[in-house]
Amino acid sequence: MTTSDRRGVLYPARLPTFHREPPPRELTGLVRWFWIPEWQLAPGRTSRQEVLSFPASNLTVGADGVTLSGPTTRRSHRDLTGTGWAVGALLRPAAVPALVGDPRAARDRQVPFEATELHRAVTAAMSPDGDGAARRARATAAYSAWLLDRVGPPDAEGELANAMEDAIAADLGPTRVDDLAQTLGISVRSVQRLALRHVGVTPLAMIRRYRLQEAAQRLRDDPAIPIGQVAAELGYADQAHLCADFRRVLGFTPSTYRDRAGPGDDPSHPAPTG
């Protein structure tokens, strides 16, 4: 996974000004990337941002405070209005226990996070002085300094949890938990404990989420690709299982999504609901 990875963004054309910034080298074991949207919408207009989130937690600083978003089991959205910004960190599994405690308690939730110094530093960095690149550089530097002071380097278990995430996120990664366990050289039970402690969902849920993200991206990037081909290439038993996964998590079929998310996606068009 790199900052250019667009899995999880369901409707790229609807994004506001949006950047992903890599963490400094000393934070690569704790943060996958920083993400920074900025928006300025006309009065009365709302922009709905629909996301099929990575199976991970995000710690986000906004003008109103700091929030922690746990791993999700379904698509999520945020309605943007007026003018604003956010600076978020996509947390790696190794960082989660020190910041979240038990991530299962934050599953499908967004909760306030007490971090006054972080909020003050990032808000000052996002002041309108200088251009956008300067703001983003100041904000990620301030955020990184806070994290380095708050969270130590990954321990052995944290490194193993990161390796688990890397294996699942890789192109055509494992589709079965026992294959993942074999890759990591540990038992299936150990993989399950690792995922629940450092991510907050089961390893199978992580595998399914990355696979569904990849399916959505392929349908979006290549409108002509047969849905059955996508299902076969990503290890689904058949097309029906891919369709069932789409309906369960996203609430609509792959064909409906492909029709709405192709190159001609209209930013003002409502997202599909069926």
pLDDT in tens, 75-88: 888 888 888 999 99
pLDDT of residue 253: 93
pLDDT of residue 268: 37
Q: For residue range 137-177, what is the model confidence (pLDDT) as tens digits?
A: 999 999 999 999 999 999 999 999 999 999 999 877 788 99
Per-residue pLDDT at 269 exceeds 60:
no
Boundaries of every domain in the chain: 12-150
- Residues shown for the chain: 274
pLDDT of residue 118: 98
**pLDDT mean across residues, the chain:** 89
pLDDT: is 57 or 267 the higher one?
57
Cα 190 to Cα 91, 123, 124, 161, 182: the distances in Å are 21, 40, 43, 10, 11
Per-residue pLDDT at 28 exceeds 50:
yes
Phi, psi of 18 (to 5 degrees): -140, 130
pLDDT of residue 130: 73
Q: Give the count of beta carbons closer than 10 Å to the beta carbon of residue 16.
A: 16
pLDDT of residue 101: 87
Q: In this prediction, what percent of the chain has a pLDDT beyond 70?
A: 93
Task: Give 3-state DSSP helix, strand, coil % of the chain, rounded to 5.
Answer: 45, 20, 35
Alpha-carbon gap, residue 89 to 272, rounded angstroms? 28
pLDDT: is 261 or 269 the higher one?
261
Instruction: With CA atoms as reference, report the closest residue to 273 among 21, 48, 61.
Output: 48
pLDDT: is 135 or 8 the higher one?
135
Alpha-carbon gap, residue 118 to 45, rounded angstroms? 30
pLDDT of residue 272: 30
Alpha-carbon gap, residue 54 to 105, rounded angstroms? 17
Alpha-carbon gap, residue 78 to 51, rounded angstroms? 9
The answer to whether 257 and 219 have CB atoms below 8 angstroms apart is: yes
In b/e form, how buried is each residue of 167-197, taking b as 16+ CB within 10 angstroms? bbbeeebbbebeebbebbeeeeeebeebbbb
What value does the mean pLDDT take over residues 213-217?
Answer: 92
